[in-house]
Structure 1
């Protein structure tokens, strides 16, 4: 059962519902006009229960955010793109970038993305943030080839050559190893709403940050989007996700040794809970997965609150304390030994919230 949400989320949901009445909401930027989709009915509300590794943090300063990506440079967590409440209701794609300073517990704005996008493919190489396409559009979100690199010292985005034609997608699993960014799966089209087209792909490719060269790798055994991905110990892991629809969730875990001579997919122990739209982050040899979408309760698509960890050494899963505020369409990143999880949606579909949590795994 979905757990209740706190007072701050109640205020957020009120903004979503009252936006059509002309109340002051932050005005986001569209890549294309006309992107206006309904927001779900609020869930029952109450205060969440923290503890067992979970800690509440300051809400996202700019307000609710969903279907964004995150990246960490030093002690700073960057929240990049996504969807936000529209000024006249529904949700719109944004170019906004906000930064959470984990040392001071404060938020600030950074230079916006040159192109507004949701589900951006984001990775860090060295001290730079790379965005290699994503989704954006009006009534139907389409894959973008636009790519950029961000220099945090100059607070500046620079254009990169576009993603090669045919490789563009959003919501891919991401990983970085020895200066190369890996993208696995993703989707080329997402039409929000019941029965909308969701064009999931099995494509796997690598981008060499130093040279700008793209390389094709063996496809995933099955297409996946809204999927978890991480590189641990020279192996790329792709966990869970979905295939052509929010409720078509999967529990599979695929792994590829990134050594050039052994690049082939193998299947590992499945997730305890099949989920799509989940957040994920690696801490040491373990990959932590949070929340997700596709939890069908009484015929209704709801969100998951599950927290589960995969041990890459033992090929085993562990169930951990659930999210105090269950949500999907969010993202997670590790700074030190703590995982930061800003934003997401607390209902199936588009329902952005500003909640920001931290999870600190128990020491082993």
Structure 2
């Protein structure tokens, strides 16, 4: 797998720009940025925060209700008219606690629900989560905050019935990462093995992506999986037009959060560099709405700060 300084994926691709919005998102990190009905929803993060909503049509951020408790280190998943906060933890660093139940946010009602119980032996935070064919799939994660307990676990959860099924372990244990689905394949990208017990909070980043093929029901062998050109955790992942976009993150290699945007094309099996973020950040997300890719909030350095209130936009087409 090679990194190529490719042509822009679209002739209209420009550079990231910081938007002068009306209002701004609450400064936070280890939160989830989710696209729902053409708006950005920023949920969770350290401390108890409001759900902040950005409407690109009006360029306005507004604050909805606060989370019912501190919720962080999760990837938000949209299922029909709700957002599922999968793999969430609560509590302070370094011994955060995984949640006992699945938390759901209903945007139309600005309401949170605690729904189905998570099996005690599969509770963790900092995991990747995707929705595919009626199931939410949860990959990796860590059971004991930042202290230890990184896992290669792979599970699926039926949001309608609460059924929880254990799947074959992923090839690599990892936490602090995100995942996405392209076609019939799941891609787990970035992350690390966090172990404060071993004085290795940031250093054990993972280059190899894990790829699960839903059609054959197996993880692909390592030689068929790409390596992330810039190793980092706390990164954001989104699928755009059949390509995997990996952005931001943190690592032991540098104090500032990463600003790189690297894009994998499964058709060519090559990586391309897209324009870098204006401000490197981790602990947030990447969301496509219409012709633009957005990110907001997050932490500007490795670790807990500075927490950002900026919103960035990359125009994909003209």
**In which range does the TM-score fall when normalised by the shorter chain?**
0.7 to 0.9
Superposed CA deviations along residues 37-87 of structure 1, whole A, max 9, x for unmatched, are xxxxxxxxxxxxxx933122238735311110122111111101002xxxx
Say if 2:277 is the partner of 1:323. Answer: yes
- Structure 1: distance between partners of 2:233 and 2:151: 14
Per the TM alignment, residue 250 of structure 1 is displaced from its structure 2 partner at its CA by: 1.5
Per the TM alignment, residue 133 of structure 1 is displaced from its structure 2 partner at its CA by: 4.0
Q: Show the counterpart of 1:201.
A: 151
Superposed CA deviations along residues 119-150 of structure 1, whole A, max 9, x for unmatched, are 12421011211123411113521211232222
Q: Give the one of 41, 60, 75 matched to 1:106.
A: 60
Q: Show the counterpart of 1:22.
A: none
Q: Show the counterpart of 1:233.
A: 183
How do 1:159-178 residues align onto structure 2 when only pairs under 5 Å count? 159-178=114-133
Matched residue SS, 1:166: helix
| Contact 2:87–2:141 (8 Å) recurs in 1 | no
Aligned residues: 295
Per the TM alignment, residue 240 of structure 1 is displaced from its structure 2 partner at its CA by: 1.7
Rate the CA distance shift 1:138–1:322 in 2: closer, same or farther, 3 A.
Answer: closer
Per the TM alignment, residue 295 of structure 1 is displaced from its structure 2 partner at its CA by: 4.6
How do 1:176-325 residues align onto structure 2 when only pairs under 5 Å count? 176-191=131-146, 197-244=147-194, 245-259=201-215, 261-267=216-222, 268-297=225-254, 301-325=255-279
- Structure 2: distance between partners of 1:181 and 1:97: 22
How do 1:103-182 residues align onto structure 2 when only pairs under 5 Å count? 103-139=57-93, 140-182=95-137
Superposed CA deviations along residues 222-250 of structure 1, whole A, max 9, x for unmatched, are 11011231011021101121112212111
How do 1:88-103 residues align onto structure 2 when only pairs under 5 Å count? 93-103=47-57
| Contact 1:111–1:157 (8 Å) recurs in 2 | no
Per the TM alignment, residue 256 of structure 1 is displaced from its structure 2 partner at its CA by: 0.7
| Contact 1:95–1:114 (8 Å) recurs in 2 | no
Q: Show the counterpart of 1:54.
A: 16
Per the TM alignment, residue 159 of structure 1 is displaced from its structure 2 partner at its CA by: 2.1
- Structure 2: distance between partners of 1:146 and 1:114: 13
Per the TM alignment, residue 180 of structure 1 is displaced from its structure 2 partner at its CA by: 1.2
Q: CA RMSD in A?
A: 2.0
- Structure 2: distance between partners of 1:103 and 1:241: 33
| Structure 2 unaligned spans of 5+ | 1-12, 195-200
- Structure 2: distance between partners of 1:165 and 1:275: 29
How do 1:78-93 residues align onto structure 2 when only pairs under 5 Å count? 78-83=41-46, 93=47
Give TM-score, length-normalised by structure 2.
0.86
Matched residue SS, 1:294: coil
| Structure 1 unaligned spans of 5+ | 1-50, 84-92, 192-196
Give TM-score, length-normalised by structure 1.
0.76
